[in-house]
Amino acid sequence: MLDIQKIRKDFPVLGREVYGKPLIYLDNAATTQKPDTVIRSLVDYYENYNSNVHRGVHKLSMESTERFEEAREKVACFINSKSSNSIIWTRNATEAINLVANTWAQEHVKSGDEIVLTAMEHHSNLVPWQKVAKDKQALLKYIPLTADGRLDLTNIDDIICSRTKLVSIVHVSNSLGTINPVEELTAKARKVGASVLVDAAQSVPHMPVDVQQIDPDFLTISGHKMLGPTGIGALYAKEDILESMEPFLRGGEMVLEVTYEDASWNSLPMRFEAGTPNIADAVGMGAAVDYLSAIGMKSIRQHEVDITSYALDAIKAINGLDHYGPDDMSQRGGVISFNSPGVHPHDLGTFLDRLGIAVRTGHHCTMPLMRMLGVPATTRASFYLYNTKSEVDVLIDGLTEALGYFNDGSR
Ligand code: C6P
């Protein structure tokens, strides 16, 4: 059991009020709040050892290099990567996916090849592959969904087949909350010789994720969704695959030897980190990993299961509210999207905001999924380790009040 009240004290912003009401922050799938250890790690970096990495012989540069590389080690350990050379710093999960699409895929995807995605992908794991498919005359195939928002694997052996070059799938859906069987799908991809990318932006922050167990070629992470700063994320890739890949961006840091005519590439991981990296935020992401590790990812997942099932039961009990995604908590993360026919999600979100409740409304960067569900948008509550059941109670009261207000025939 987590001591939530103790945890909440670590997050300065959770003490604030909005419109005279205590803030209830339920927009954690968009970005998470930051504990003071993360905030202080940034201040400490700038106050005490701000300096460029991998360059200087002076004390500050050595200190910043050490802390920057320590953070990489922490991320590697957090996902059980065999080597920190497998961790490439990026700005976010989106950049990590684009790195693979612009390097590995440009070399390996050929005309007639197939790239398998799911019908619930975030635009970040969809739009880059649309470009690859257009450039290479490859075909995008989508694993369809069941009525309750799980992957429909009935025809999976026709979808993942000998023509498949890459299976690129989201681990936990940001819109539906569904946890996908990425290990099983990776094994299927392996059988036909395809490569695998797992978009783990919504899983690594919320549950234990082990890259040796899932065994993908690539896995992408977002720092700001796991208590870290914005502007930092990571690509995990198997070391031998990274070794064989062309660089993404070219310039300083990523080179070994440069002449007026040519250049050779630095060793991993620097080969993929051209220019001055986001040192402070990488250190901050390391502090976030420390914070999550000290609490324990199993406990965080258990807390989210408790709170999400509590919220789900209450949402199901509200008349006229549709929710999306599976009810079985073994297949759902801490995300609940819902809609009330006749009430626009933006109106609902604005009503809740006035009660101090922050939720996200919109298509959540999954427009094809929204179209498939037959809705323009949803309202989404997403939970994290600092949320409480009493916050869920306020959400449920707010929803009941909002639906009463909007469905009142006199309006
Ligand atoms: N989803 C949400 O509110 P970035 O923005 O690059 O850090 O993460 C992109 C991304 C990739 N995959 C999934 C499954 C995601 O949920 C996200 C970000 C946010 O749902 C912002 S749209």
Q: Where are the domains of the chain?
A: 4-30+296-406, 38-294
Angle, CA 79 vertex, CA 73 and CA 80 arms, to 5°: 75
Query: What is the structure's pLDDT at 330?
Result: 98
Query: What is the structure's pLDDT at 1?
Result: 84
Q: What is the mean pLDDT of residues 310-338?
A: 97
Query: What is the structure's pLDDT at 385?
Result: 98
State the DSSP code for 332: B
Alpha helix stretches (DSSP H) within 317-366: 345-354
What residues are in contact with ligand 1 under a 6 Å CB criterion?
A: 29-30, 92-94, 122, 124-125, 170, 174, 199, 201-202, 222, 233, 360, 364-365
Q: What is the pLDDT of residues 4-57, one digit of tens each?
A: 999 999 999 999 999 999 999 999 999 999 999 999 999 999 999 999 999 879
Q: What is the mean pLDDT of residues 390-403?
A: 98
Beta-strand pair 195-199/139-143? unpaired
Fold of 4-30+296-406: Aspartate Aminotransferase, domain 1 (3.90.1150)
> Over pLDDT 70: what percentage of the chain?
99
Q: Specify the pTM.
A: 0.98
pLDDT at 255 over 90: yes
Closest to 364 (Cα-Cα) out of 202, 231, 169, 146: 202
Pocket-testing residue among 25, 94, 176, ligand 1, by greatest number of atoms within 8 A of Cβ: 94
**Could you tell me the distance, in angstroms and rounded to a whole number, from the CA of residue 206 to the centre of ligand 1?**
14
**Could you tell me the distance, in angstroms and rounded to a whole number, from the CA of residue 366 to the centre of ligand 1?**
10
Question: Contact at 8 Å (CB) between 326 and 178?
Answer: yes
State the catalytic residues: 365
Decide yes or no: CATH 3.40.640.10 for domain 38-294: yes
**Could you tell me the distance, in angstroms and rounded to a whole number, from the CA of residue 232 to the centre of ligand 1?**
13
Query: How crowded is residue 30: how many other Cβ atoms within 10 Å of its Cβ?
Result: 17
Cα atoms in the 13 Å half-sphere on the side-chain side of 52: 8
* Whole-Å CA distances, 361 to 94, 192, 351: 21, 39, 12
The separation between CA 252 and the C-alpha centre of its own chain, rounded to angstroms, equals 29
Q: What is the pLDDT of residues 269-322, one digit of tens each?
A: 999 999 999 999 999 999 999 999 999 999 999 999 999 999 999 999 999 899
